[in-house]
């Protein structure tokens, strides 16, 4: 497969018997009023939310949905038919979807361990890609996915939709205005009270209609357990990275964006299963990771089962400057001035509320990029790769218990074999890590 699909472009010349053949991504050949056709891989949670956002945009259609869970697949096919008046076909093997020539773009909404293979193969098949966050489940997967997008000139948008949300972007503009003074630290956090402990359950047979071996894919072979399936997969390192790579990728991303998307020099982390030591989750319910940059630090702090975050918010970013602190979350942003000698050092900015339209705007940005062949989208492959790496660096620091020093030129840790052992996965046969 290549990143170009051969097509015959007919024009007024064709009427005179002259045909012109050329190759380029199918989406690039469509007129402004022609339908952009997508296929969805992974339809349970955010995958379907992303598809709904896609279908809200004009001149769009879903031709196929792929999921290894037959009950989910049938439900989403029926819901999509209601949305667009046309029934998409259903598939259990994503490779069949990628073979469909009518599909222009692929939406990947699978668990994290299933992002790399379909994304790379979609690039090779000439499809543009909207991929859920985090970009990959290992840093080497992230590197491969970044190289694939660059090699095949694929338009990629990653589901860090806050990058397209106006109030988040306005907050960053204020940060970059300099009014806060020197920013010495960035606080990022997610305290999620609705995330309850995961009760221990015995292994069992997969539900009827679930291709569990395909669901595992390149991950290690383990008996089926309901705790490792659907939503709770995110609490197991085989498939994801816990709250750090779930909410963390959203929130850390804006800490990085506000400071110019830097790469950390060193990372330390502490935490564990302090609140729920006997539940079934593997990833920590409590974690603090500290990142060192040139001129500032960034703190990531998370807790499941409680809402007691900073500044009275259960999630957000706080840019701490000498003159004041800007705080932003999904509800809006405000500036809290520093005070000296009973006087504010800067003007207070009362809460400016958000619109709640980030995902729809993010999808519109993607579609515009597909049609104009603009790869520099709000959450493009370069942005998403950097943020996902930073989140994984924090997890690796916690898992090793070491202060780690990162070499971005070599994409590895300096003089730490234990940490470097976490960079690349070992895929279960017959799946193979792509070579790009």
Concatenate the DSSP letters of all residues of 304-352 into one string.
Answer: ES----GGG-SEEEEEEESSEEEEEETTEEEEEE-EETTEESS--EEEE
pLDDT reported for residue 158? 98
pLDDT reported for residue 185? 98
DSSP symbols for 105-173: EEEE-S-GGGSHHHHHHHHHTT-EEEEPSSS-SSHHHHHHHHHHHHHTT--EEES-GGGG-HHHHHHHH
pLDDT reported for residue 252? 98
pLDDT reported for residue 205? 96
Domains of the chain and any CATH numbers: 5-162 (3.40.50.720), 163-420 (3.30.360.10)
pLDDT reported for residue 222? 97
Task: Split the chain (436 residues) into runs of 10 and give each run's mean pLDDT.
Answer: 32 31 49 83 96 97 98 98 97 98 98 98 98 98 98 98 97 98 98 94 96 98 95 96 97 98 97 97 98 98 96 97 98 97 95 94 98 97 98 98 97 97 98 96
In 3D, which of 387, 389, 394, 379 has the Cα closest to residue 424?
A: 389
Tokens at residue 65, please?
A: 């949905």
- Over the stretch 9-31, which tens digit does the pLDDT of each residue have? 223 323 333 332 333 555 655 55
Q: Distance between CA 129 and CA 154 in Å, rounded?
A: 7
In 3D, which of 218, 221, 273 has the Cα closest to residue 243?
A: 273
pLDDT reported for residue 22? 30
In 3D, which of 104, 170, 160 has the Cα closest to residue 380?
A: 160
pLDDT reported for residue 380? 98
pLDDT reported for residue 32? 53
| CA-to-CA separations, 141 to 7, 211, 374, in angstroms, rounded | 32, 24, 24
Q: Distance between CA 252 and CA 189 in Å, rounded?
A: 8
């Amino acid at each position: 497969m290549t990143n170009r699909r051969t097509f015959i472009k007919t024009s007024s010349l064709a009427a005179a018997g002259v045909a012109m053949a050329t190759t380029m991504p199918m989406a690039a050949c469509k007129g402004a009023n022609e339908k952009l056709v997508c296929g969805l891989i992974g339809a349970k949670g955010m995958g379907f939310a992303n598809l709904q956002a896609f279908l809200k945009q004009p001149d769009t259609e879903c031709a196929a949905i792929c999921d290894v869970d037959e009950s989910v697949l049938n439900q989403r096919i029926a819901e999509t038919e209601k949305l667009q008046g046309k029934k998409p076909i259903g598939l259990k093997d994503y490779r069949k979807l990628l073979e469909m020539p009518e599909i222009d773009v692929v939406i990947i909404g699978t668990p994290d361990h299933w992002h790399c293979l379909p994304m790379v193969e979609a690039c090779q098949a000439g499809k543009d890609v909207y991929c859920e966050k985090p970009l990959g489940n290992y840093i080497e997967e992230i590197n491969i996915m970044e190289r694939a997008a660059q090699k095949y000139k694929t338009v990629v948008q990653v589901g860090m939709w806050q990058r397209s949300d106006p109030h988040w972007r306005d907050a960053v503009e204020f940060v970059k205005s300099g009014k806060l003074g020197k920013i010495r630290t960035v606080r990022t956090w997610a305290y999620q009270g609705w995330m309850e402990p995961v009760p221990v359950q015995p292994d069992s047979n997969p539900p009827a209609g679930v291709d569990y071996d395909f669901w595992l894919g390149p991950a290690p072979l383990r008996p089926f357990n309901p705790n490792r399936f659907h939503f709770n997969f995110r609490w197991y390192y085989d498939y994801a990275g816990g709250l750090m790579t779930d909410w963390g990728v959203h929130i850390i991303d804006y800490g990085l964006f506000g400071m110019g998307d830097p790469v950390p020099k060193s990372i330390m982390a502490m935490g564990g299963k302090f609140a729920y030591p006997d539940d079934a989750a593997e990833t920590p319910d409590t974690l603090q990771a500290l990142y060192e940059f040139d001129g500032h630090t960034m703190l990531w702090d998370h807790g499941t089962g409680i809402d007691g975050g900073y500044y009275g918010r259960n999630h957000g970013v706080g840019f701490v400057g000498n003159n004041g602190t800007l705080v932003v979350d999904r509800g809006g942003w405000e500036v809290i001035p520093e005070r000296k000698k009973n006087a504010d050092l800067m003007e207070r900015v009362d809460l400016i509320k958000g619109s709640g339209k980030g995902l729809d705007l993010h999808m519109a940005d993607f579609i515009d990029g597909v049609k104009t062949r603009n790869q520099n989208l709000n959450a493009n492959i370069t942005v998403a790769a950097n943020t996902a790496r930073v989140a994984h660096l924090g997890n690796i620091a916690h898992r090793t218990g070491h202060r780690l020093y990162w070499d971005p030129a070599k994409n590895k840790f300096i003089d730490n074999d234990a940490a470097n052992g976490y960079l690349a996965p070992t895929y279960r046969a017959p799946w193979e890590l792509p070579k790009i």
